[in-house]
Amino acid sequence: MNTLQSKKILLIISGGIAAYKSLELIRLLKKAGAGVRCILTQGGAKFITPLSVSALSGEQTHTDLWSLKDETEMGHIRLSRESDLIVVAPASASFIAKMAFGLADDLGTAALLAADKPVLVAPAMNHMMWNHPATQENIGTLMRRGVKTAGPCAGDMACGETGIGRMAEPEEILTSIRAHFERAKKLSGLRALVTSGPTFEPIDPVRFIGNRSSGKQGHAIAAALASCGADVTLVSGPTALPDPASVKTIHVETADEMISACRAAAPADIAICAAAVADWKPAQTQKKKIKKDKNAPPTLTLTENPDILSALAQPGPRRPRLVIGFAAETENILESAHAKRMKKKCDWIVANNVGTKEKIFGSDGNHVHLITASGQMEWRGSKKDIADRLVLEIMDHFKNLKLSEAAE
Ligand code: CTP
């Protein structure tokens, strides 16, 4: 079956010479069976006309946030809500900056800000603009929010210079759009539970025991699972991160709250424990702030927290079919991680070296080993890359499970 048949695409065409290629993209999308609605920004309309866009899309072209007719008939909210995917092609440097900052001063940006749908951008700009730290930061912000990109590519530019910044060809953007919809189905029907971030164990109303976990890896995994169609519940300790799109996020503080939220979210097919759960909590939380005693500092009596990963991995009818743990190690990484996998009874374990705090905690990069019963793999990359690699392995695992179930 054609992946694009009956899919609804909202195409936002921003200002850039590459806008002429978007006409071909509309033609290809229509040919593939998709419905295409278009927003042409003021800048976009300097390069192509609403008439040519409408002629190819077969729909009215929307241009004005302040048009009474447009707003009463369609409205920027409906435009984004009634689509399956929003594509911005070309995405100019200025349009990308507006997206990153959450501006909504024209129809395109307002529709995006009101959107609860996946977004794919095809950047197009001069290579210096693309490489500028401002643009790189903005595109990084969008990617962390789950926005997908197609291109840009290297080559000759309209301005006569050469470098990275050309918009991807319409066929390539179409391939990325297809890949999005194909990926979006791979884990559909599966429920996933992910823990992320640190836990804070209160000593008194103002002090707590915590750790340096940023939650970036766990949140990236939850987002990657959701983008492949899984029904994801993320149980997160305190982090500074936004909730990932299309993920049910439950915010907790302590390990006890985290395990209760995980139990409430069960049953799940996949459980991934990426949280850095505090191993111990104060045996008693003081209701009032502990005052400084002139004679001696207070003594803290600690008690052990429940082990969420071990609890989820216990054999039984409610055990998820795939349980994945993390092993934060500072020495004998692989050996310790192997031992942790056996001890905690999880199927896979992702081992990382947290010995050098600058390298892992809070950073966007990671270096991990995935250890399974049958072997191990080593991955380096951004936390998002690691999440994507892990989700690819999960897809393979469930594909193989299905094949062996079918063979029985
Ligand atoms: N974990 C958990 N609940 C806990 C402690 C850890 O779910 N109370 C999970 C983590 O989410 C991770 C795995 O167990 O997936 C390993 O965590 P780690 O901190 O590396 O191991 P610990 O069990 O704390 O063992 P140790 O401190 O001895 O290395």
Q: What is the pLDDT of residues 179-194, one digit of tens each?
A: 899 888 889 999 999 9
Query: Is-contact 195 308, C-beta < 8 A?
Result: yes
Answer for the pair 97, 77: CB distance below 8 angstroms, yes or no. no
Residue 215, ligand 1, Cβ within 6 A: no
Q: For residue 357, is pLDDT > 70? A: no
- Give the helix, strand, coil percentages of the chain, each rounded to 5: 40, 25, 40
> Residue 217 above 70 pLDDT?
yes
Give yes or no for residue 273 CB within 6 A of ligand 1: yes
Q: Return d(Cα 148, Cα 278) in angstroms, integer.
A: 34
**Active-site residue 159, yes or no?**
yes
Contact 390, 350 (CB under 8 A): yes
Task: Evaluate if residue 358 carries a pLDDT over 60.
Answer: no
The predicted model scores a pTM of 0.74
Strand order in the sheet with 348-353: 248-251, 231-236, 191-196, 270-273, 322-329, 348-353, 365-371, 376-382
The share of the chain scoring above pLDDT 90, in percent, equals 75
Amino acid sitting at position 43: G
Q: What is the C-alpha to C-alpha distance for residues 201 and 283, in angstroms, rounded to an integer?
A: 10
pLDDT at 332 over 80: yes
Cβ-contact 232, 215 below 8 angstroms: no
CA distance 302 to 278: 11
In tens, the pLDDT along 13-72 reads: 999 999 999 999 999 999 999 999 999 999 999 999 999 999 999 999 999 887 766 666
CATH of domain 191-407: 3.40.50.10300
Ligand 1, pocket-test mutation among 199, 263, 309, 330, most atoms within 8 A of CB:
309
Percent of the chain with pLDDT over 70: 96
Residue 255: CB within 6 Å of ligand 1? yes
Q: Closest Cα partner for 349 from 366, 370, 334, 330?
A: 370
With a 6 Å cutoff on the Cβ, whether 327 touches ligand 1 is yes
Is 236 strand, coil or helix?
A: strand
Cα(103) to ligand 1 centroid in Å equals 41
pLDDT of 154 above 90: no
**What separation in Å is there between the alpha carbon of 289 and the centre of ligand 1?**
29
From residue 402, how far is each of 8, 181, 224, 372, 395 by CA, in Å?
Answer: 30, 21, 21, 19, 11
**For residue 70, what are the contacts with CB-CB under 8 A and spacing of at least 6?**
62, 63, 64, 107
Which among 38, 39, 42, 46 is positioned nearest to 20, based on CA atoms?
46
Take residue 358 and report the two structure tokens written for it: 């600058």
**135 and 142 in contact (C-beta within 8 Å)?**
no
Annotated catalytic residue, options 159, 262, 273, 346: 159
Can you read off the two tokens belonging to residue 395? Answer: 């897809």
Tens of pLDDT along 66-102? 776 666 666 778 888 889 999 999 999 999 999 999 9
- Out of 213, 277, 336, give the residue to mutate to test ligand 1, the one with the largest number of ligand atoms within 8 Å of its CB: 277
Statement: residue 360 has pLDDT above 70: no
Helix (H, G, I), strand (E, B) or coil at 144: helix
List every span in the chain annotated with CATH 3.40.50.1950: 8-183
Does residue 330 register a pLDDT over 60? yes
CA 386 to chain centre: 12
Q: H-helix or E-strand containing 23?
A: helix 19-31
Taking Cα atoms as reference points, which of 81, 373, 9, 382 lies closest to residue 224? 382
Residue 350 · residue 326 · CB < 8 Å = yes
CA–chain centroid gap for 272, Å, is: 15
Nearest Cα neighbor of 87 from 27, 12, 141 is 12
Location of each CATH 3.40.50.10300 domain in the chain: 191-407
| Separation of alpha carbons 343 and 213, rounded Å | 23
Fold of 8-183: Rossmann fold (3.40.50)
Query: What's the token pair of residue 35?
Result: 């419905």
Strands (E) located in 85-241: 85-91, 119-123, 148-149, 153-156, 162-166, 191-196, 201-202, 208-209, 231-236
Q: Which amino acid is at 301?
A: T
